[in-house]
Amino acid sequence: MNYYELLFTVITTEDYQQDLLINTLGDIGFDTFEELEFGFKAYIPADDFDEEKLNEALGVYQDMFTFSYEISLIPQKNWNEVWESNFEPIAIADKIFVRATFHAPRPEFAYEIVIDPKMAFGTGHHQTTSMMLQLMLENDFAGKKILDMGCGTGILAIMAAKLGAAEVTAIDYDPVCYDSTIENAELNHITNIKAICGSKEVIPDEQYDIILANINRNILLDQLQRYSEVLKHDGEIYLSGFYEAPDLDIIMDEARKYGIKYIIHKKNKDWVAAKFIK
């Protein structure tokens, strides 16, 4: 698969403005991002790239702050080399070490997650993923049944298994993410993750103790009702992929319709990860 790379230069004094661009690009099919000192790189499969849609999506920000971008085509044969060169290992809360297969292990960390860096989103580098991992560290997953929606690389599903979850169902509509989750589960010697390719319509008619969903506001709003149907009473939901304002209040209002109560949230550069209980 060929990819397009967009190199953005962003001139702004507010971090959230760059995040607005990244969030908007994610909504129109960009699936991988690398933040730079004065901007970022965004990647999208060549077959999904629509320059007219791109211009329309970004047009709303033209008068808000200054940014520009350059477009380059990356052939299939060069993609892994480009992606691997941009992937650095990270530590989260001094307890989780996320690395690729070509990085040295760090046995001093309580938990290590090995992610083969392909196209799938979710390496722990974005604030939403790291905050979700922090929330997971602070709560009890032992012996519980977990649903991970929009699983990306499978990083949250893998973490749930390492925290003692009895079984984990990981769902993503992107076939690349589906394949990546299976491969990364094997890399981490995890055997209790069941991956499914699809969206809310493929969620099994079962009852879960915990639901993880790091997606975006609009998809979460669309899927919350289905989450409530498969979540046990007193079950927990961890949500991320959206901003504190105005998104959190909007999601809280929607969650109340289904008996899901907001408990607490973490914030990083206006992104949030929130815990809810049914």
Domains along the chain with CATH numbers? 3-84 (3.30.70.100), 119-277 (3.40.50.150)
- The strand pair at 3-11 and 66-74 is best described as antiparallel
**Token duo for residue 40:** 């970022």
pLDDT exceeds cutoff 60 at 122: no
Instruction: Please tell me the pTM assigned to this model.
Output: 0.77
Confidence of residue 261 (pLDDT cuts 50, 70, 90): very high
Is residue 255 within 8 A of residue 230, CB to CB? The reply is no
Measured on CA atoms in the order 204, 208, 214, 216, is the torsion positive or negative? positive
Bond from prior residue into 246 cis (ω within 30 degrees of 0): yes
Which tops the pLDDT comparison, 146 or 84? 146
- The strand pair at 145-149 and 167-172 is best described as parallel
pLDDT exceeds cutoff 80 at 100: yes
Average pLDDT for the chain: 90
Which tops the pLDDT comparison, 19 or 184? 184
Helix ranges (DSSP H) in the chain:
15-27, 51-59, 76-86, 127-137, 155-162, 175-187, 217-230, 249-256
CA distance 127 to 4: 24
CA distance 198 to 195: 10
